[in-house]
């Protein structure tokens, strides 16, 4: 999903041109921080860093881009020529994917010549926001499912192609067992899962025929959709077919899927019918506008469900489809900077996030402090790129899932719950507070 | 933004393999319909058809795709070989982009051999949902702005690259004047607009220096951001600089942008300072989490604002980030089909949407009827593709914007308002009702 250097805001190019014309080549430090947690989230999950590294590594203006820029009449020829050799030569520090974080904290820091660090603002936020949103909601579904499988069914309702594929990755990072999105499986080696659509059932002259055809043509086992016409009747048909297949040794029915109606009642009905027929190994998958709250309710009611197919609500992070985040200049040419815009103040200087844990490893509080300051706690931002090159090890998705699982174990039950929790304390170091005062004295 | 044939759900491929194995090559008719309007929308705007045509026209499995599918072990070699020659050979009928439509109505119909029509389900919904959502919210901003400019600032908060670019297109279709997303300008010839970021101001040792540098390096005129430190002080600096530039004949300040705080009060302050300095031609742009309601309030208060920069709320359709839509089989091999799943029933048969207007051209009601039926009103779905080839004329975005403007003129003030309105009546034809009964008798 190559998107190119022109996936940026016009003002980034305007500013680059000005920096270039002014000879401003100093090093800038930018932070991407989330100002506050969205309602309905007690913590967020860092995600999308891998894609940011890919983007920065491959960043080039193609001849076509340059010709087009030249033709707009908005840019000088000298600037356009300079862009031909443009590369990202800077440094990237970030929270490793799967790290949990909280409001006011920064997830990423770019240190680079200012024109480079400026250009990448728009795309970095665009690349990071969705994976963070999706991972942070998906993990709530995984927690609510209490060990039952959760499967990503999000492609169709994702906001475009990239959201679908990166969203599927974020779901898997959060602990889902599989995705239905084939391209995500292909690109990230995520296990794929899929059943049948109503259309398959409807295209046959009867439901019995459709079920038999599905079983015959999916010799590896199939999941039958039972709510096209009438669920109880469909379940009887599944049971008869499964027994028939077992007798003949011809194929297998793995699961039934229920996609509408009262999922608790229908899953109980399904379990009853299947068990009575000796089909205890046929699993029950449910779907249909599920989110963490509906999953928790179904689990709480003891509904005999083996897997939840979750799409729309998570892939769009429907209850919080955007993050209040920003990418802000914190230092230029070694001098700290901050903005003071009403309600949108930013922290100056080269910062680090420090995490304090108790003796059992539980997170007690975080501190936003200066990198050069002695602050209690473990630093969280890690080097990802130096001089335009990746320096962090390749991490498999399996490894990132493990990072997140470990982190979850260090959160209190209250933060892990679906209801609102008291915020984890995030302190500001004395060094950082002093720096704010100093910067404000210089910029009246 | 080539995304390929594997941007689909696994179950589409499962079903295709089954159709192939079963020799099911009959023609299927699928409708994509929106079940009901999201809250906060009195009508929707059709958008994204152009991208669906591109997708269907270019649909191929590459050698890499085929090799990968083969390696999954999920598909027979015969099926994978068959996919090598796969093309979309069917027909597409749809509402032209810019058409307004209502709940329960279908925006698109695919008529094709069932395996083809099935494969494309996931991506068609994925491609259409976001442009419909964005255009339908963007048009509310345009209406609220009452002739003032609205500019798309959505890239950073869009859900990924494709959402940003297709969202920018949908905003322009809805009547925005420009976008900040360079790639959308490049790809769709949308006018570009952009100002400065806070970082540019902060990178200079003083705000005066920053403003002067921006003016010097943007000889075509620039928009200065005035809320980095202190708005009143910044406005005085802008006024002094503008007068100085005017005296020297050295560059021009086009506009100021206010991005935080009380936008009504600050725009009044800005207008006052600028007018008093004889700078009546310097425009005022505001931004900062705007949506149609905030725009309406600002316009209602008489805030002297010339342009609204709108990002997050529209590009994510934040108050309604998903559509309750579906792509459902309506006919197979000439026989009508429907599903009856609880709360998700679909309409059978080859249908058309008929729109009735009064003598002044105002829309009175729509009717969902059968294509072969005599129904009062003008048919709305138009042929877009036949036998896999585009048959509709190329339509420029300028033309689509005009389509929408004309349609808006035929909606009642109540439907055009931002508050909830009585729904426009959508009738079901007698022919369609009779067909439902007939189908249900056949599928007990």
Q: What is the pLDDT of residues B211-233, one digit of tens each?
A: 999 999 986 778 999 999 999 99
Q: Is residue B1's pLDDT more than 60? A: no
Mean pLDDT calculated for residue range B184-194: 96
ipTM: 0.96
For chain A, the distance separating the N- and C-terminal CA atoms, rounded to the nearest angstrom, is 45
CB-based contact, B391 to chain A, within 8 Å: no
Q: Residues A310-318: what's their mean pLDDT?
A: 98
Does residue A341 carry a pLDDT above 80? no
Q: Quote the CA–CA distance of A322 and B210 in Å, as a whole number.
A: 31
Question: Residue A46: is its pLDDT beyond 90?
Answer: yes
**In this model, does residue B61 exceed pLDDT 90?**
yes
> Which is it for the CA torsion B376, B377, B381, B382, positive or negative?
positive
Are A375 and A352 within 8 A, CB to CB?
yes
- Say yes or no to pLDDT of A347 above 80: yes
**Are B346 and B339 spatial neighbours (Cβ–Cβ below 8 Å)?**
yes
- pLDDT of A1 above 60: no
Contact status, residue A228 vs residue A207, Cβ threshold 8 Å? yes
Span of A141-150, A203-212, A434-443, B169-178 with lowest mean pLDDT: A434-443
pLDDT grade for A218, boundaries at 50, 70 and 90: confident
**What whole-number distance in Å separates Cα of residue B328 and Cα of residue B29?**
8
Contacts of A276 (CB under 8 A, 6+ apart): A239
Find the CB nearest B180 among A11, A155, A260. Answer: A11
Residue A384 Cα, gap to closest chain B Cα (Å): 22
Cβ contacts below 8 Å, chain A against chain B, sum to 334
Q: How far apart are CA A397 and CA A178, in angstroms?
A: 12
Res B222: pLDDT: 86
**pLDDT reading at A32 higher than 90:** yes
The minimum CA-CA distance between B392 and chain A, rounded to whole Å, is: 24
Q: Bridge-partner residues for A389, per DSSP?
A: A386
- Asked if the C-beta of A166 comes within 8 angstroms of chain B's C-beta atoms, the answer is yes
Candidates A110, A156, A193, A330: best to mutate against B (most CBs of B within 10 A) is A156
Residues of A in contact with B195 (CB under 8 A): 11, 14
- Chain A residues with CB under 8 Å of B155 CB are 7-9, 122-123, 126
**CB hemisphere CA count around A405 (13 angstroms):** 12
Q: Using CA atoms, how far apart are residues B16 and B361, in angstroms rounded to an integer?
A: 45
In 3D, which of B34, B32, B46 has the Cα closest to residue B322? B34
Choice among B176-190, B204-218, B303-317 with the minimum mean pLDDT: B204-218
Show which of residues 102-161 on chain A sit within 8 Å of chain B, judged by CB atoms.
Answer: 114, 118, 121-123, 125-127, 129-130, 153, 155-161
Whether residue B192 and residue A10 make contact (CB cut-off 8 A), yes or no, is yes
Is residue A328 helix, strand or coil?
A: strand
CA–centroid distance for A330 within its chain: 26
**Band of pLDDT at residue A2, cut at 50, 70 and 90:** low
All domains of chain A in start order, with CATH = 10-134+320-442 (3.20.140.10), 195-287 (3.20.20.70)
Question: Contact, A318 vs A291, CB < 8 A?
Answer: yes
Q: CB contact, 8 Å: A77 with chain B?
A: no
pLDDT over 70 at B444, yes or no = no
Of B12, B182, B443, the CB nearest to A229: B443
Interface of B with A in 327-366 (CB under 8 A): 327-329, 332, 337-344
Structure tokens at B246: 């005017």
**Cα torsion at B404, B263, B298, A323 (round to 10°)?**
50
Cβ separation B161–A160 shorter than 8 A: yes
pLDDT value at position A126?
98
Cα–Cα nearest to B43, from B99, B94, B96, B93: B99
> B261 and chain A: CB distance < 8 Å anywhere?
yes
Q: What is the pTM of this model?
A: 0.97
A316-334: per-residue pLDDT in tens?
999 999 999 999 999 999 9
Q: Which H helix or E strand runs over A152? A: strand A149-152
User: A187-191, A350-354, B251-255: lowest mean pLDDT where?
Assistant: B251-255
Residue B94: pLDDT over 70? yes
* Chain A CA closest to residue B158: A126
Report the C-alpha gap between B129 and A312 in whole angstroms: 11
**Contact of A123 with A3, CB cutoff 8 Å:** yes
Q: What would the mean pLDDT of B182-208 be, rounded to a whole number?
A: 94
Mean pLDDT value across residues B187-202: 93
Q: Do A161 and B3 touch (CB under 8 A)?
A: yes
Is residue B318 pLDDT above 60, yes or no?
A: yes
Cα-only R_g, chain B = 26
Q: Are B167 and B394 in contact (CB under 8 A)?
A: no
Query: Whole-angstrom Cα distance, residue A79 to residue A65?
Result: 13
Mean of pLDDT over chain B: 95
How far off is chain A from B180, nearest CA to CA, in Å? Answer: 5
Are the CB atoms for B274 and B239 separated by under 8 Å? yes
Give phi and psi for B113, each to the nearest 5. Answer: -50, 140
Q: How confident is the model at residue A304 (pLDDT cuts 50, 70, 90)?
A: very high
**A194 vs B342: CB contact, 8 Å cut-off?**
no
Q: What is the pLDDT of residue A3?
A: 79
């Amino acid at each position: 999903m190559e998107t190119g250097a022109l996936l940026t805001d016009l003002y980034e190019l305007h500013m680059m041109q000005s920096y270039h014309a002014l000879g401003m080549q100093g090093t800038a430090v930018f932070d991407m921080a989330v100002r506050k947690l969205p309602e309905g989230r007690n913590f967020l999950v860092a995600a999308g860093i891998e894609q940011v590294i890919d983007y920065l590594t491959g960043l080039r203006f193609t001849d076509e881009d340059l010709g087009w820029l030249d033709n707009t009449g908005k840019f000088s020829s000298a600037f356009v020529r300079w862009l031909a050799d443009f590369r990202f030569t800077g440094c990237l520090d970030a929270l490793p994917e799967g790290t949990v974080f909280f409001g006011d904290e920064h997830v990423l820091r770019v240190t680079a010549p200012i024109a480079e660090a400026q250009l990448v603002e728009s795309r970095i936020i665009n690349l990071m926001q969705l994976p963070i949103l999706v991972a942070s909601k998906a993990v709530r579904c995984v927690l609510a499912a209490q060990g039952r499988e959760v499967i990503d069914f999000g492609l169709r309702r994702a906001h475009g192609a990239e959201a679908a594929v990166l969203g599927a990755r974020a779901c898997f990072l959060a602990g889902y067992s599989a995705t239905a999105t084939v391209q995500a499986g292909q690109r990230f080696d995520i296990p794929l899962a899929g059943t049948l659509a109503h259309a398959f059932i409807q295209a046959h002259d009867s439901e019995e025929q459709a079920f038999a055809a599905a079983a015959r043509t999916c010799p590896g086992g199939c999941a039958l959709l039972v709510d096209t016409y009438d669920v109880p009747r469909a379940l009887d048909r599944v049971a008869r077919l499964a027994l028939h297949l077992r007798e003949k040794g011809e194929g297998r029915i793995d699961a039934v899927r229920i996609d509408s109606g009262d999922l608790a009642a229908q899953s109980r009905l399904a379990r009853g019918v299947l068990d009575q027929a000796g089909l205890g190994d046929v699993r029950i998958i449910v779907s249909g506008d599920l989110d963490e709250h509906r999953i928790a309710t179904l689990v709480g009611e003891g509904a005999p469900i083996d897997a939840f197919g979750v799409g729309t609500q998570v892939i769009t992070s429907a209850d919080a489809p955007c993050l209040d985040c920003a990418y802000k200049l914190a230092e230029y040419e070694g001098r700290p900077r901050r903005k003071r815009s009403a309600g949108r103040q930013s922290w100056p200087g080269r910062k680090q996030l420090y995490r304090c844990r108790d003796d059992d490893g539980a997170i007690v509080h975080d501190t936003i402090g200066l990198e050069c300051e002695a602050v209690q706690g473990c630093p969280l931002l890690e080097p990802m790129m130096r001089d335009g090159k990746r320096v962090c090890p390749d991490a498999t998705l399996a490894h990132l899932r493990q990072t997140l699982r470990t982190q979850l174990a260090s959160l209190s039950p209250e933060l892990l719950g679906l209801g609102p929790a008291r915020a984890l304390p995030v302190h500001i170091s004395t060094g950082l507070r002093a720096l704010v005062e100093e910067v404000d004295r210089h910029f009246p």
